[in-house]
Amino acid sequence: MRHDHYRQANLSRFRAALDADGMPRAWENSYVDKHDPVEAPYIPYGIDHQLIRFTPSTTHVPWGFWRSVDHSLHAFFTESFIDELAAAAGQDPYRFRRKLLDHDRRFRDVLDLAAEKAGWDDERPANHGRGIAIHKSFGTIVAQVVDVEITNGKPRARRVVCAVDAGFAVHPDGMRAQMESGIVYGLTAALYGEISIRGGAVQQSNFHDYPMVRMPDSPAIETYIINSGHAMGGAGEPGTPAIAPALANAIFDASSRRLRELPLWQHDLSRADVESRDVA
């Protein structure tokens, strides 16, 4: 753990304007540091006015590539914020997204399939929540729905439903395997993935202080493939970006508490001082 390059610590700030119908008409996003790929911060939603910009940082921590690269960062940022806009508008987060994707049937079909297979409108038990997210990376669109349970103030993903359109899945079993591994990889990062530096040295050294999602904690994962006939995209990385925001959005559904900082395991959801701010 102490001899590597790391995914960057990042900060992203948003502002948006909603019209009288609760739909966003302006989207402003400023974030720190731009790496690969260039399209990662851009959103698929039909919002007329968008301003997306970045500023470099002077961090001395060496930056390195990580599965899905900047897509994993920006999917968490953008899909968490679009969920906040849905809450501010008093609208269902799946249907709010769907209205903003009227112009892009391919995105909408992936979103619809994930929501349908997950039973989006099914009732949730107490302390359970359901969250959704969608993101395109490396030519492949992936939507994921997470069912989460809050136990002793901590979240546990119980089920993940994944819909994927990579144009055409040449090897469907391989596609499912890549989605599953990307989901577990992303869950580890969302829940536990923290590298802390003190006095110029990395604190984490091995798996006792850098935990990972292991088999007993892995959710049930279902993957559904759409062969849309569009240009073929990738499979190795696109399963990762949507899982962190879908999980955080599910936590909000279960607890009414909005977590804006990763890793999620550091937050005690049983405490009253967990951040839960409304969008102004």
Multiple choice CATH, 12-266, 3.30.365.10, 3.40.50.720, 3.30.70.20, 3.40.50.300: 3.30.365.10
Q: Answer yes or no: are the C-beta atoms of 164 and 178 closer than 8 Å.
A: no
- Hey, which residues does 14 pair with through a beta bridge? 29
Q: Which amino acid does the sequence have at 176?
A: R
Q: Which amino acid does the sequence have at 76?
A: F
Instruction: Say which residues have a Cβ less than 8 Å from residue 123's Cβ, sequence separation at least 6.
Output: none
Q: Does the pLDDT value for residue 179 go beyond 50?
A: yes
Q: Does the pLDDT value for residue 278 go beyond 80?
A: no
Q: Containing H/E element for 98?
A: helix 93-100
pLDDT, tens only, 81-127: 999 999 999 999 999 999 999 999 999 999 999 999 999 999 999 99
The pLDDT, as a whole number, for residue 276 is: 44
Q: Does the pLDDT value for residue 275 go beyond 70?
A: no
Q: Report d(CA 129, CA 206) in Å as an integer.
A: 32
pLDDT, tens only, 210-245: 999 999 999 999 999 999 999 999 999 999 999 999
Region 169-186: what's the mean pLDDT? Answer: 98
The pLDDT, as a whole number, for residue 271 is: 67
The domain spans of the chain are 12-266
pLDDT, tens only, 3-45: 889 988 899 999 999 999 999 999 999 999 998 999 999 999 9
Q: Report d(CA 200, CA 203) in Å as an integer.
A: 9
